[in-house]
Amino acid sequence: MRALVIHAHPSPESFNRAVFNTAVAALRSAGHDVEALDLYEEGFDARMSREEHLAYHSEHPIVSPDIARHVELVSTAEMLVFVYPTWWFGLPAVLKGWLERVLVPGVGFVLDAETRKVRPHLLGVQRIVGISTYGATWRYTKFFNDAGRRILVRALRLGCTGRARVTWLAMYRLDTSTSEQRTAFLVRVERKLSAL
Partner 1 sequence: MIALVVYAHPVPDSFCSVVRDRVVGSLIAAGHEVDLMDLYAEGFDPRLPVEEHALHLSGLETKPAIAGHARRLSAAEALVLVYPTWWGSQPAILKGWFDRIWVEGVAYTLPEGEDRIKPLLRNVRRLVVVTTHGSPKWVNALQGEPGKRVVLRGLRSLCHPRARSRWIALYGIDRSDEEQRNRFLDRVASITARL
Which residues contact partner 1 by CB under 8 A? 10-11, 14, 40, 46-50, 52-54, 87-94, 96-97, 99-100, 116, 118, 143-145, 147-148, 150-151, 154-156, 158
Determine phi and psi for 168, rounding to 5 degrees.
Answer: -120, 125
In angstroms, give the least distance from the CB of 166 to partner 1: 14
Q: How far is the CB of 191 from partner 1 (least distance, A)?
A: 29
Residue 27 or 39: the one with the smaller Cβ distance to partner 1 is 39
Nearer to partner 1, 83 or 91 (CB): 91
DSSP string, 35-99: EEEEHHHHT---SPPHHHHHHTTSS----SHHHHHHHHHHHH-SEEEEEEEEBTTB--HHHHHHH
Of 30 and 158, which has the nearer Cβ to partner 1? 158
Nearer to partner 1, 40 or 124 (CB): 40
Q: What are phi and psi of 150, to 5 degrees?
A: -65, -40
Rounded to the nearest 10 degrees, how much is the dihedral formed by the CA atoms of 112, 113, 115, 118? 30
Residue 22 or 141: the one with the smaller Cβ distance to partner 1 is: 141
| Least CB distance to partner 1 at residue 63 (A) | 12
How many Cβ atoms sit within 10 Å of the Cβ of residue 103? 21
Question: In the bound complex, what is the minimum distance in angstroms from residue 132's beta carbon to partner 1?
Answer: 14
Q: What angle do CA 25, 137, 84 make, to 5 degrees?
A: 30
Shortest spacing between CB 53 and partner 1, in angstroms: 5
Beta carbons of 160 and 125 less than 8 angstroms apart: yes
- The Cα 11–Cα 17 span in angstroms is 7
Among residues 12 and 181, whose Cβ is nearest to partner 1? Answer: 12
Least distance in angstroms from the C-beta of 65 to partner 1: 19
